[in-house]
Amino acid sequence: MFTFLPLVPPSNSKYKKETLSLFTSLHSTNLKTPDRLQQDNNTPSLMSKSKNMKTPNPSQFTSISSTIYNDDDDFQDPIPSLPFTQTLTKPTSSIKLKPSNTPINRPSKKPKKTHTLPGKENLITPHEFDLDPDLGLESFEPTVLCNKTEVGEKKKKLTDGFGYLSNSIESRLSLQSRGGCAPSKVDGDLEETGTTQLDVLLDLCYSEEEKEIEDEDVGGVGEIISCPMCGSDISNMSDEMRQVHTNECLDKEPIDIPDNDHVSEPSGQVLDDPPNLASSETHHVSPISIWLQNLGLSRYEEVFIREEIDWDSLKWLTDEDLCKIGVTALGPRKKIVHAISELRTESHEEVNIPEKSAQKESKTVSNKLITDFFPGFAGNVKKSCTTGAQAQVGKTNSNNGNKRSGTKMNFSNNKFRDTPSWCSITGTPFRVDAFKYLRRDCFHWFLTHFHADHYGGLTKSFCHGKIYCSLITAKLVNLKIGIPWEKIEVLPLNQKINIAGVDVTCFDANHCPGAVIILFEPPNGKAILHTGDFRFNEDMTKIASLQTRVHTLVLDTTYCDPQYDFPKQEAVIQYVLEAIQAEAFNPKTLFLIGSYTIGKERVFMEVARVLQKKIYVTAAKMRVLECLGMPKEDMQWLTLDERESHIHVVPMWTLANFKRLKHVANMYMGRYSLIVAFSPTGWSFSKGKKSSPGKRWQQGTIIRYEVPYSEHSSFTELKKFVKFISPENIIPSVNNHGSESVRKMVSLLSS
């Protein structure tokens, strides 16, 4: 019978000691090394077999691996021009862990900024001039800097083991005890603010402030600065807090937009429908023009003017009409038609809500359920929706029940949609995972982790301020997207820092490498905990900072439904291990383990460690893994030489269906006679069957396992977490299950 032969003597006690990560504890405590593993080393191993195989020439190697696994895609080399030969010439016989050629140390090259306020860049980047020389700067730069130097020192610590999953004792010890919040200098309603609504007015504020700053560039302070809305003295606030304050006032007191110059600013501001547009009309800017600008289709402005299309008739234009009037290009036409249909939907709803037609009512009710079940949430949403989630359409929204008098436009273009409430951190000038909603009124963009649905919209031309994220995420953002380090601020784990007057603390989210949960403690005293994506574990309840009072919890509700109950990751990995053993009777078996750009590392790393087998990864995947700061003892299990391993890490979609797997099988025809693939996904359980450790499918010589390996919290875990945090409000960050599941969760929680 075939068994795995250890490639390396299993003397791993050293790194076991060093690695505080769950990874290791998982290995040392939960995962039993399969008995058969240690026995029977008479049987020729696949390994030795593959060593005897004829060595393919380099070009074969490349074409095979890249063709089979679509390496050109996700695990793609970020530098397109990088010649394949570079990969090929890597030593293939002895796998050395090359020093990473990724510029991971570049953050340190970034000169530590000192007090640079009165410099030219203050005029260039608004967020810098925003800093009050006395207060803002004091509260922002020095604090961060101070912490940043610590960050540098901590980097090593953070990345020891899997930095991302260690709520290590070590790091927890360094938790700062949480001081009381500074008394808010703004009025008590501050927290009720949404952040971005009337960018128009904000822009006004900017230009005014810009002038002021230019004037006082030399450091002139002392003037009393009043809120343009309520008139109260906001001189003591940092400029960003002033923005926040002003935004709140704006939300409270909707006003007419006074200046069309700003109305026409195509920076994605939210436009009120007829009323405000009407006011802009008096300044000879038609609402249609603004609307077109927001769609990025200003070039058709002339056409619409020529055809004398007004706001009302716009809503009834058809695709055909557009063709006739000269919008012939398919793309723009589609865009316009889509946007029009949204306009219609919206006005339709406006009409219907009062009528309470059965259908509409049910929609309204279901929309409101979330808020109903979270006392205080409704009010919040309403306000933050004015700037935030209100106009959401499509799959990323639907939790925003309240449509403030339906006066907002929906834009088909994501970029111009309102920032959803779960992206805006009320009471702060921050956004979280909101790169799809880039605006010029914000300069602090937090990224919880490096998954496409969270960094979506972020491109290397990002120029909206700073990106705040964990070290691992920072490396990936730099590697994969090409964001220069100058635009990235690395956040330490388990350590409170101050950004723009707001206390910020990050914790490991137990999701993918680098994923963090972020606690924001704004001056208004209403702490906001943003989970990003996370999987709850009991250790989180031991984090001192989380035992604080949390006002609003922005919660990853991916599996917020009782039907979603899956096993612990350890159990699933154990299942995979056993399945590999069970299938390994055939020495010509190729094992494939699915993976995303990042995520699911634990599955294949544990397989390697427990089975003592090397794992093949593509060069691009290796570069990503090199960002994770895994100890050498772990990295030694990875190889870039596919001949060294019959366990391959492949992009998840390679395993998506048997058709693709057959493709792989064909490519390896003759070399492998059996393919065993593992798809680790949280969705791989049937609704009725709870916690089944995995499903096995077979078609001929291809076996496909779906294993419920989730990096999101199960419903049970969500419950525990919510109970632990006991927030006043919850904002779901995922709306896939709608309000119903949130309602269920809440009712269960309250029982």
Partner DNA sequence: GCGATCAGAT
Partner DNA sequence: CACATCTGATCGC
Residue 151 and residue 472 in contact, taking contact as beta carbons nearer than 8 Å: no
> In b/e form, how buried is each residue of 422-455, taking b as 16+ CB within 10 angstroms?
bbbbbbbbbbbbbbbbbbbbbbbbbbbbbbeebb
State the CB neighbour count (10 A cutoff) for residue 146.
12
Contacting range for DNA; rule: CB under 7 A; set: 121-129, 172-180, 229-237, 294-302: 294-302
- The reply to whether 63 sits near DNA by the rule CB under 7 A is no
- The reply to whether 198 sits near DNA by the rule CB under 7 A is no
Nearest-angstrom CA–CA distance, 746 and 751: 8
Rg of the chain over Cα atoms, rounded to whole angstroms, equals: 28
- The reply to whether 621 sits near DNA by the rule CB under 7 A is no
- The reply to whether 251 sits near DNA by the rule CB under 7 A is no
Q: Measured from the CB of residue 446, what is the shortest distance to DNA in angstroms?
A: 17
Contacting range for DNA; rule: CB under 7 A; set: 352-360, 425-433, 445-453, 637-645: 445-453
Instruction: Please give the structure tokens belonging to residue 685.
Output: 């359980």
Residue 60 and residue 200 in contact, taking contact as beta carbons nearer than 8 Å: no
User: For DNA, which is the closer residue by CB, 58 or 296?
Assistant: 296
Q: Measured from the CB of residue 642, what is the shortest distance to DNA in angstroms?
A: 19
Q: ∠274-277-278 over CA atoms, to 5°?
A: 75
User: For DNA, which is the closer residue by CB, 400 or 681?
Assistant: 681
* Of 113, 338, 363, 568, the one binding DNA by CB under 7 A: 338
* Of 54, 57, 80, 688, the one binding DNA by CB under 7 A: 80
What are phi and psi for residue 398, nearest 5 degrees?
75, -10
What are phi and psi for residue 594, nearest 5 degrees?
-75, 150
User: For DNA, which is the closer residue by CB, 127 or 451?
Assistant: 451
* Of 70, 294, 505, 552, the one binding DNA by CB under 7 A: 70
3-state secondary structure 264-280: CCCCCCCCECHHHHHHH
Q: Measured from the CB of residue 646, what is the shortest distance to DNA in angstroms?
A: 23
Q: Which residues fall within 8 angstroms of residue 531, CB to CB, at 6 or more apart?
A: 448, 509, 517, 553, 554, 555, 556, 721, 733
* Of 262, 623, 648, 737, the one binding DNA by CB under 7 A: 737
User: For DNA, which is the closer residue by CB, 184 or 736?
Assistant: 736
Residue 490 and residue 471 in contact, taking contact as beta carbons nearer than 8 Å: yes
User: For DNA, which is the closer residue by CB, 136 or 651?
Assistant: 651
Contacting range for DNA; rule: CB under 7 A; set: 265-273, 358-366, 597-605, 631-639: 597-605
Q: Measured from the CB of residue 299, what is the shortest distance to DNA in angstroms?
A: 6
Q: Which residues inside 355-414 make contact with DNA, applying CB under 7 A?
A: 394, 412-414
* Of 161, 532, 599, 727, the one binding DNA by CB under 7 A: 599
Nearest-angstrom CA–CA distance, 147 and 150: 5
- The reply to whether 690 sits near DNA by the rule CB under 7 A is no
Q: Measured from the CB of residue 297, what is the shortest distance to DNA in angstroms?
A: 6
- The reply to whether 699 sits near DNA by the rule CB under 7 A is no
Q: Measured from the CB of residue 331, what is the shortest distance to DNA in angstroms?
A: 2
User: For DNA, which is the closer residue by CB, 102 or 184?
Assistant: 102
* End-to-end CA, the chain: 54
- The reply to whether 342 sits near DNA by the rule CB under 7 A is no
- The reply to whether 269 sits near DNA by the rule CB under 7 A is no
Q: Measured from the CB of residue 460, what is the shortest distance to DNA in angstroms?
A: 5
Residue 393 and residue 417 in contact, taking contact as beta carbons nearer than 8 Å: yes
Q: Which residues inside 451-490 make contact with DNA, applying CB under 7 A?
A: 451-453, 456-457, 459-461
- The reply to whether 518 sits near DNA by the rule CB under 7 A is no
- The reply to whether 428 sits near DNA by the rule CB under 7 A is no
* Of 85, 86, 657, 698, the one binding DNA by CB under 7 A: 657
* Of 201, 611, 664, 734, the one binding DNA by CB under 7 A: 734
* Of 6, 118, 254, 296, the one binding DNA by CB under 7 A: 296
Return the half-sphere exposure (C-beta side, CA atoms, 13 A cut-off) of residue 367: 20
* Of 148, 245, 436, 439, the one binding DNA by CB under 7 A: 436
Instruction: Please give the structure tokens belonging to residue 13.
Output: 């006690």
User: For DNA, which is the closer residue by CB, 518 or 734?
Assistant: 734
- The reply to whether 736 sits near DNA by the rule CB under 7 A is yes
Report the DSSP beta bridge partners of residue 729. Answer: 552
Contacting range for DNA; rule: CB under 7 A; set: 16-24, 348-356, 491-499, 734-742: 734-742
- The reply to whether 732 sits near DNA by the rule CB under 7 A is no
User: For DNA, which is the closer residue by CB, 587 or 599?
Assistant: 599
Q: Measured from the CB of residue 411, what is the shortest distance to DNA in angstroms?
A: 9
Q: Which amino acid, residue 263?
A: V
Q: Which residues inside 521-560 make contact with DNA, applying CB under 7 A?
A: 533, 558
Nearest-angstrom CA–CA distance, 287 and 315: 12
State the CB neighbour count (10 A cutoff) for residue 475.
31
DSSP-derived secondary structure letter, 28: I
Q: Measured from the CB of residue 481, what is the shortest distance to DNA in angstroms?
A: 8
What are phi and psi for residue 530, nearest 5 degrees?
-110, 120
User: For DNA, which is the closer residue by CB, 76 or 166?
Assistant: 76
Q: Measured from the CB of residue 599, what is the shortest distance to DNA in angstroms?
A: 6
DSSP 184-201: PSS-GGGGG--SSTTHHH
Residue 500 and residue 445 in contact, taking contact as beta carbons nearer than 8 Å: no
Q: Which residues fall within 8 angstroms of residue 358, CB to CB, at 6 or more apart?
A: none
Which helix (H) or strand (E) segment holds residue 14: the answer is helix 13-18
User: For DNA, which is the closer residue by CB, 353 or 667?
Assistant: 667
Contacting range for DNA; rule: CB under 7 A; set: 48-56, 141-149, 347-355, 677-685: 677-685
- The reply to whether 656 sits near DNA by the rule CB under 7 A is yes
* Of 631, 682, 693, 727, the one binding DNA by CB under 7 A: 682
Residue 612 and residue 8 in contact, taking contact as beta carbons nearer than 8 Å: yes
How many residues contact DNA, by CB under 7 A? 49
Return the half-sphere exposure (C-beta side, CA atoms, 13 A cut-off) of residue 364: 19
Going by C-alpha positions, the residue among 413, 297, 442, 412 that lies closest to residue 346 is: 412
Going by C-alpha positions, the residue among 479, 393, 387 that lies closest to residue 192 is: 387
User: For DNA, which is the closer residue by CB, 621 or 643?
Assistant: 621
User: For DNA, which is the closer residue by CB, 148 or 480?
Assistant: 480
3-state secondary structure 333-380: HHHHHHHHHHHHHHHHHHHHHHHCCHHHHHHHHHHHHHHHHCCCHHHH
Within 533-628, where are the H helices?
A: 569-583, 601-611, 619-626
Q: Measured from the CB of residue 28, what is the shortest distance to DNA in angstroms?
A: 27
Contacting range for DNA; rule: CB under 7 A; set: 50-58, 245-253, 494-502, 729-737: 729-737
User: For DNA, which is the closer residue by CB, 500 or 661?
Assistant: 661
* Of 252, 360, 415, 671, the one binding DNA by CB under 7 A: 415
Nearest-angstrom CA–CA distance, 171 and 168: 5
Q: Measured from the CB of residue 105, what is the shortest distance to DNA in angstroms?
A: 24
Q: Measured from the CB of residue 330, what is the shortest distance to DNA in angstroms?
A: 4
Residue recorded with tokens 């403030």: 404
- The reply to whether 744 sits near DNA by the rule CB under 7 A is no
Nearest-angstrom CA–CA distance, 285 and 281: 5
Interface with DNA (CB under 7 A): 70, 73-74, 76, 80, 296-297, 299, 329-332, 334, 338, 394, 412-415, 436, 451-453, 456-457, 459-461, 511, 533, 558, 596-599, 651-653, 656-657, 681-683, 687, 711-712, 734, 736-737
